[in-house]
Amino acid sequence: MPIDTDPLKPEKRLSRSYIAGLIVIVLIATLTHVIMDRLLLTEQHTADIVNMVGKQRMLSQRIMQLTYRYMLARNDQEAVHFQQKAMLAIKKMDQTHRQLLVNPRSTTYQKATDGIYFDPPSELDMQVRTFLGAAREILRREPETLSLDSPIVRLISERQVEPLLLDLNKAVTLFVDASRQSMNRMHIMLWLLYTALIAVIVLEGLFVFRPAFRHLFERTRELHELARTDPLTGCHNRRSFVTLADAFQESVKRYHTPCAVLMLDIDHFKRVNDTYGHPVGDLVIQALARTCVNALRKSDVFGRLGGE
């Protein structure tokens, strides 16, 4: 079995976990942006549709009033005036009606109100087209040929328009309810994404940043120990010992406390190396260091300054 000797394996594993966490966070942020954008568009679209249906109500009443005024016009000039205004209102209402039923932007409205527009008992589409057709037919005829009792005039009477207005109200109510449900679902998705984002950040902290910082602190501690410790004996090296000695000297100067420095040298150490070899010489140095360390007090400092 091959042995994995990669010293950077923990760092690589943490890096992969960190990158994976970042990718998940980016995906969640992107989805959140998409849903928020869709939510805002839905709210704007709902307002537009409600405004269009409200315009239908207003136009239907305006068409009825202008048509009656056309019928009751006192002269040709007045009749033409009301006829033109009524035809313009009819055109606007017809365009709005088609936009509600055909325009791709009105798909949500169409799905929510399909039954009330095309199925009994409302058949709102038929009501609107009948109302507009009757109004056009009245405006094509001469005013003196029309009367309030004419069958064609009854089709735009208040009695006939009232159910149309009620069904328009029902349609917009259905659409608003459907839009509210859709927005509620998007709100729930936003909360789920927010929860997922917090969970990912917490997991990143627990399983990526926490181990990374712990590993960093351990490495820093190790480097600090290596920087101040003699690798052979484990005591202070020259740099660390001199730093501590300077600190002791400053303390002695300031507080006038007694302090002593003892320097040890191994006699005939070169003969040991030449006779038994450097490994044995290292053992001698380690044995001397252990002996000295065992004899030290807590306040004493022991270091290796030279080769011996």
- Provide the pLDDT for residue 133: 95
Q: What is the pLDDT of residues 277-287, one digit of tens each?
A: 888 888 888 88
The residue among 11 and 47 whose pLDDT is bigger is: 47
Q: What is the mean pLDDT of residues 262-280?
A: 81
Domains of the chain in start order, with CATH, are 9-211 (1.20.1420), 232-295 (no CATH)
In this structure, which amino acid lies at residue 66? L
Residue positions counted in the chain: 308
Q: What is the mean pLDDT of residues 70-97?
A: 94
Checking if the pLDDT of 18 tops 50, the result is yes
Say whether pTM exceeds 0.75.
no
Cis omega (within 30 of 0) for bond into 258 = no
Which residue reads 């007045």 in tokens?
A: 78
Strand partners, 205: none
pLDDT level of residue 9 (50, 70, 90 thresholds): low
The residue among 91 and 106 whose pLDDT is bigger is: 91
Checking if the pLDDT of 4 tops 50, the result is no
Checking if the pLDDT of 42 tops 60, the result is yes
- Provide the pLDDT for residue 109: 78
Q: What is the pLDDT of residues 233-266, one digit of tens each?
A: 888 888 888 888 888 888 888 888 888 888 887 7
Q: Which residues of 37-64 are buried (b: 16+ CB within 10 A; e: fewer)?
A: eebeebeebbeebbebbeebbebbebbb
Percent of the chain past pLDDT 70, that is, above it, reads: 95
- Provide the pLDDT for residue 89: 96
- Provide the pLDDT for residue 110: 78
- Provide the pLDDT for residue 44: 85
pLDDT level of residue 198 (50, 70, 90 thresholds): very high
- Provide the pLDDT for residue 65: 94
Strand partners, 229: 236
Query: Taking a C-beta distance cutoff of 8 angstroms, is the pair 236, 244 a contact?
Result: yes
How is 155-219 classified by DSSP, letter by letter? TTSHHHHHHHHHHHHHHHHHHHHHHHHHHHHHHHHHHHHHHHHHHHHHHHIIIIIHHHHHHHHHH
Q: What is the mean pLDDT of residues 65-81?
A: 92
pLDDT level of residue 192 (50, 70, 90 thresholds): very high
- Provide the pLDDT for residue 179: 84
- Provide the pLDDT for residue 3: 44
| Mean model confidence pLDDT for the chain | 85
For the ranges 4-8, 58-62, 257-261, 265-269, the lowest mean pLDDT is seen at 4-8
Q: What is the mean pLDDT of residues 225-240?
A: 83
The residue among 133 and 288 whose pLDDT is bigger is: 133
